[in-house]
Amino acid sequence: MASLKVTQTRSTIGSKPKQRGTIRALGLGRIGKSNTLPDRPEIRGMIARVPHLVSVETVAGSDGDGSDSSGSVGSEQGSES
């Protein structure tokens, strides 16, 4: 299943409270912060409400559970001996 990497690009200062709540619900809160979310209609609808505050990238092959883990620690070590 594809995932979406959503990054906050602009500040929520001066935006409406409902837009600020949408940013928080997407797991964002600071400029430059990113979150990987599943590509579902609910998430797409939230992004459609704040397109001026976020940028979106499609990430293929990710499980999209919302965690920002880039792999387990030490999973590719020890093959050089």
Is CATH 3.30.365.10 the classification given to domain 3-59? Answer: no
The full set of domain ranges for the chain reads 3-59
How many Å apart are CA 65 and CA 35, to the nearest integer? Answer: 10
User: In the structure, what pLDDT confidence band is assigned to residue 27 with cuts at 50, 70 and 90?
Assistant: very high
Sorting pLDDT into bands at 50, 70 and 90, what band is 73?
very low
pLDDT tens-digit map of 9-24? 999 999 999 999 999 9
In the numeric block, which tokens belong to residue 55?
A: 């940028």
The CA distance from 4 to 25, in Å, is 14
Q: How confident is residue 69, by pLDDT bands cut at 50, 70 and 90?
A: very low
Cβ neighbours of residue 64 closer than 8 Å, sequence gap 6 or more: 1, 2, 3, 4, 36, 37, 38, 39
